[in-house]
Amino acid sequence: MAGYLLRRVSQMILTLFLILTVTFVLVQAQPGDYASFYALNPDLPPDVREQMRATFGLDRPVWEQYLIHMRNTVTGNFGVSFGHFPRPVLDVLAERLPRTIVLFVSATAVSFYVGFLLGKAIAWRRGGILEYAATISGTALFTAFTPAFALMMIWIFAFRLGWLPVGKFLDPLVWRDADVSSTSVFSLMLLTAAAFLAFASLVSFASRRSQRIGGRRSAVPLLLAGALVLALAWYLSGIGNLALDILRHMILPVATLTLISFAGTMLLTRNSMLETVREDFVMAARAKGLPDAQVRDRHAARNALLPVVTSLIYSLVFAIDGSVIVESVFSWPGIGLTLLEAVRTEDLPLVMGAIVFIGFLSLLAHLVVDVLYACLDPRIRYR
């Protein structure tokens, strides 16, 4: 496994190198002279112009600029953003990237879970009302035009019903008197989520090691207690309302993304499940006298999951791509919106940085799914 990881990481570095090169070529291929755009821009103060020239080697030949570009990327020096002057690009990205990751990881997780549950259910009991309702509505949503559907969701739930905020990351009125920054609150929220996940895996691990058969206690009360403790900690911290505000802003985009994409997982799970239930080991599980739910979940669905996980790669890449559209519709200040803004304002350092990070993110997601797949299927041992 270690050898496999090492090889994958070196492949990733190679791919990243290609991404960097293509990005550089694309920016160079733009009409107008990249170098003179900065070097001669009278809007920039002279000292900044000088600094830019030195950082990007703007007065050097193109091939040297390319080498400088590579060196800058490796050392994490993406220069200074124009749009967010004088903040460095890396600083802007470090603030925006987690928001995108959280939004899309939660949306992907929710839509995968919903799609998998529905697909499993409709394959197990064929021909019910659920099958028709889920298939028709799922397919309709899957084929819907994303921006139009997102706007419709905003119109219904934010504008007409007023249940949820229209867009953006937070409500300025709530944050006016806050003495903490949204970034630090958000980081704390991430930390909480990570802590809860660690706790949940610990509990499930412990309950699986239980020695008594039949008298196994459910882990749900313990998990609820854990969640309650964390919620109480937030409530007492005095910044709970701020975290709640961010959460409220997340609901609509996550729900929209889920509705748009769950049908893919659902239909794939359904087909995969219909194949799996014909397998002998599913009949063997029934013959062993296992309860119906156990045959369905532990054997049929567990094996049907394998090809579906492969599709997770595509939905993750789709999510990262789609971040540009979805984030701009919901004014969610993540990396997609940042990229769009940067392109519009010709904030080239930020464009380059954002593209590099999106590429890096896609590669990372790919690696994570590959490793996940190996964990799920014992027949696969990477060498």
Partner 1 sequence: MTGLGLRYSTRQGEVRALRDVSFDLARGEALGLVGESGCGKTSLAKSLMRLLPDNARPAGGEVLLDGEGLLSLPEEEMRRVRWRRISLVFQAAMNSLDPVYRVGQQVLEAIEAHGVEETVASARARVARLFRLVGLDPRVMERYPHELSGGMRQRVVIAMALSCDPDIVIADEPTTALDVIVQDRILRELKAIQGQLGISIIYITHDMAVVAEVTDRVGVMYAGRLVELGETAAVFRSPLHPYTEALMSSFPSVSGEKRRLASLSGEPPDLADPPSGCAFHPRCAYATALCREQSPPRVGRGGQWAECWHPLDPAAVPVDPA
CB of 294 to partner 1, least distance (A): 7
CB-based contact 320:102 (threshold 8 Å): no
Indicate the residue type of 134. A
Q: Which of 294, 311, 331, 345 binds partner 1 (CB under 8 A)?
A: 294
Told to check if 286 binds partner 1 by CB under 8 A, we report: yes
Q: How far is the CB of 194 from partner 1 (least distance, A)?
A: 28
What does the alpha-carbon distance between residue 101 and residue 254 come to, in Å, rounded to a whole number?
A: 12
Contact letters for partner 1, residues 183-222 (x by CB under 8 A): ---------------------------xxxxx--------
Distance in angstroms (rounded) separating the CA atoms of residues 298 and 284? 13
**Nearest CB to partner 1, comparing residues 8 and 286:** 286
**Quick check: 382 binds partner 1 (CB under 8 A)?**
no
> Nearest Cα to 175, choosing from 243, 101, 267?
243
Least Å distance, CB 123 to partner 1, is 13
Closer CB to partner 1, residue 81 or residue 276? 276
Shorter beta-carbon distance to partner 1: residue 93 or 285:
285
CA distance 208 to 352: 48
Tokens of 120: 């499993």
DSSP 8-state assignment for residue 270: H
SS3 80: strand
Burial of residue 277 (CB within 10 Å: 0-12, 13-18, 19+) is: buried
Tokens of 305: 């999951």
Instruction: Among 43, 177, 179, 280, indicate the residue that binds partner 1 (CB under 8 A).
Output: 280
Q: How many other C-beta atoms are found inside a 10 Å radius of the C-beta of residue 347?
A: 23
Nearer to partner 1, 294 or 331 (CB): 294
Mark the segment that binds partner 1 (CB under 8 A) among 53-61, 219-227, 242-250, 290-298.
Answer: 290-298
Q: How many residues contact partner 1, by CB under 8 A?
A: 28
Residue 284 interacts with partner 1 (CB under 8 A): yes or no: yes
Of 7-15, 228-236, 237-245, 374-382, which segment contacts partner 1 by CB under 8 A? 374-382
88 phi, psi to nearest 5 deg: -65, 150
Does residue 59 interact with partner 1 by CB under 8 A?
Answer: no
Dihedrals φ, ψ of 289, to 5°? 80, 25
Binding mask 300-329 for partner 1 (x = CB under 8 A): --xx--x-----------------------
Q: Which residues pair with 80 in a beta bridge?
A: 88
Q: With CB under 8 A as the contact rule, which of the stretches 158-166, 234-242, 273-281, 348-356 interacts with partner 1?
A: 273-281
- For partner 1, give the closer residue by CB, 75 or 211: 211
The single residue among 107, 153, 164, 285 that binds partner 1, judged by CB under 8 A, is 285
Given 6, 229, 283, 368, the residue binding partner 1 (CB under 8 A): 283
Q: Is residue 272 within the footprint of partner 1 (CB under 8 A)?
A: no
Cα 57 to Cα 62: distance, rounded to the nearest angstrom: 9
* 8 A C-beta contact, residue 23 and residue 352: yes
Quote the Cα angle for 97-99-102, to 5°.
Answer: 110
Would you count residue 75 as binding partner 1 (CB under 8 A)?
A: no
Whether a cis peptide bond, with omega within 30° of 0, leads into 165 is no
Instruction: Please give the full DSSP string across 48-64, using - where no structure is assigned.
Output: HHHHHHHHHTTTS-HHH
172 lies in the site for partner 1, by CB under 8 A: no
279 touches partner 1 (CB under 8 A): yes
Radius of gyration of the chain (CA): 25
Where does this chain bind partner 1 (CB under 8 A)? 210-214, 279-281, 283-292, 294, 298-299, 302-303, 306, 376-379
